[in-house]
Amino acid sequence: MITLIYRGIIALVLIFVVWHIFEEEKITHQANAALVIIPLVLRFLMIK
Partner 1 sequence: MSIELIIFLAMIITFVSGCFILKLPVSISMVAAAIVGAFVGGYGFPLRHLVEGMFSYVDTVLVITTAMIFMKVIQDSGALDALSALIIKKFNKTPALLLCLIMLVIMFPGMITGSSTAAVLSAGSIMAPILMIMGIPALETACIIAMGGLLGMIAPPVNIPVMIIGGGIDIPYVGFEGPLAMLTFPLAFLFVLMFGYKYVKKFEYDLIKSKLNNAPMDKYGVKIFIPIFIALGLMVINKAFPTLPNLGMPLIFIIASIVGAFTGERISVTKVCKESIKSVLPVLGILMGVGMFIQIMTLTGVRGLIVTACISLPDALRYIAMAVTIPLFGAVSSYGSASVLGVPFLMAFLSGSQIVTASAISLIASLGDMMPPTALAGIFAAQVVGLDDYKPVLKKFILPSLIIIIWAILFIVFSDKIAPFIVFK
Binding site for partner 1 (CB under 8 A): 2, 5-6, 9-10, 12-13, 16-17, 19-20, 28-29, 31-33, 35-36, 38-40, 42-43, 48
Provide the minimum distance between the beta carbon of 35 and partner 1 in the complex, in angstroms, as a whole number: 4
Cα separation of 3 and 21, whole Å?
Answer: 27
What burial letters (b/e) apply to 8-19, b meaning 16+ CB within 10 Å? eebeeebeebee
Of 38 and 45, which has the nearer Cβ to partner 1? 38
CB of 45 to partner 1, least distance (A): 13
